[in-house]
Chain A
């Protein structure tokens, strides 16, 4: 079977790509938080990530594919699902039986996607430009400065914070839900749920903290 030919296949694909993105997020967070503690360490790790051929030419394309896949699939699912009930209810009490997060994944997803657009514009495009278009000389100490520079503007910090709140909402449902999609619902589910909720709140808050930290310093 092709993975996406059946509804369960699509659901599992969504879960796997989601988990992959959560792993990436964890990695990204671990590096960013270094910038709070040590400028040198942050520069060193960023330089490694930015110039290691495995990271650049294998992991980065996989990541881009993962992001594209997750959001295209999300839109496809939303479209199909909206077609499965042609005449809408005149009264529908969604909040009586399901969380806001679970019912609005498409909207939190769209906010995150728009944020990714900004994020690419802020960091990824200049980075690609620096390395592969203009081919500027290697400078292992530029990363910290670039990061701090982006957080000067309070407007940008506010957008970042807002986006991470939506990321948190997206994760609170999505992370736990991916286990259910992969068929994991057993005596460990409560623990999994607590862990995923903890992660979904703490990591986005951490990102907001980093932005505020550099803004205020």
Chain B
């Protein structure tokens, strides 16, 4: 396949970026999107052009690093995949593909397509944990019986890889899907219930301070999330937050 790529180039966080156009030939439909980017970068280097910076790590859909906004959608046109899992067969010969970084005030661009998602880390640090005594005789988690239904829901929430596609997709750049997944994965389990009140209050507070937008229930996040995190989690977080606020 021969493709035209329109890519956001920005030298550093201070500089003003712009879209650049590149041509790429002989792209195999079996390549992943990131492999195509690798080929493009090799081509750029031989031409003496600075290669395009983009985030990636595992390249198998588990780390959440690959963060491109492709043709107007986070992680491109496919569903339930990250960019590294997106194949070039989803595109056609002659296509023009627009590639931009995830955009949100809370995710500033570092360079080209890489963005700083440490806002998520800070939200996580504000309450996304359970306090356990790590003295060496910590109780085995499996010793506490847990309703299968709850365990499954907690597991589903825990599959969130913190990629930020939900924020990138949301017209309001809201982080509700991510934060609600992180709240839910604990609050559904007995170990997490102990700190449930503080957790939801602190994580939501941090989320707001980071400058994410307000959720208006468009549901776009759920559609674009590579892990299929459900809006049910957002409803659960709303409930928990209301309850926690009333409790004081």
CA distance A98 to B223 in the complex (A): 8
Let me know if B223 and A96 touch, CB within 8 A: yes
B65 contacts chain A at the CB level, 8 A cutoff? no
Q: Tell me how many residues of B have a C-beta within 8 Å of chain A.
A: 48
Which residues of the other chain, B, contact A98 by a CB distance below 8 angstroms?
A: 171, 218-220, 223
Interface residue ranges of B1-22 to A (CB < 8 Å): 6, 8, 19
Let me know if A77 and B216 touch, CB within 8 A: yes
Stretch at the interface among B23-31, B53-61, B127-135, B207-215: B207-215
A103 contacts chain B at the CB level, 8 A cutoff? yes
Let me know if B211 and A183 touch, CB within 8 A: no
Let me know if A81 and B217 touch, CB within 8 A: no
Q: Which of B216, B223, B231, B240 contacts A105 (CB 8 A)?
A: B216
Known: A81-B173, A96-B223, A98-B219. A7 touches B214 (CB 8 A): yes
Let me know if B19 and A90 touch, CB within 8 A: yes
Stretch at the interface among A114-122, A135-143, A163-171, A174-182: A174-182
**Binary CB contact string for chain A from 178 to 217 against chain B (1 if under 8 A, 0 otherwise):** 0011111110000000000000000000000000000000
Which residues of the other chain, B, contact A92 by a CB distance below 8 angstroms?
A: 72
Known: A89-B100, A102-B219, A183-B236. A83 touches B105 (CB 8 A): yes
Known: A90-B19, A184-B235. A85 touches B213 (CB 8 A): yes
Give chain A's interface residues, CB within 8 Å of chain B: 1, 6-12, 77, 80-81, 83-94, 96-99, 102-103, 105, 173, 177, 180-186
Give chain B's interface residues, CB within 8 Å of chain A: 6, 8, 19, 69, 71-73, 77, 98, 100, 103-106, 169, 171-174, 176, 204-205, 207-208, 211-220, 223-224, 231-232, 234-242, 245
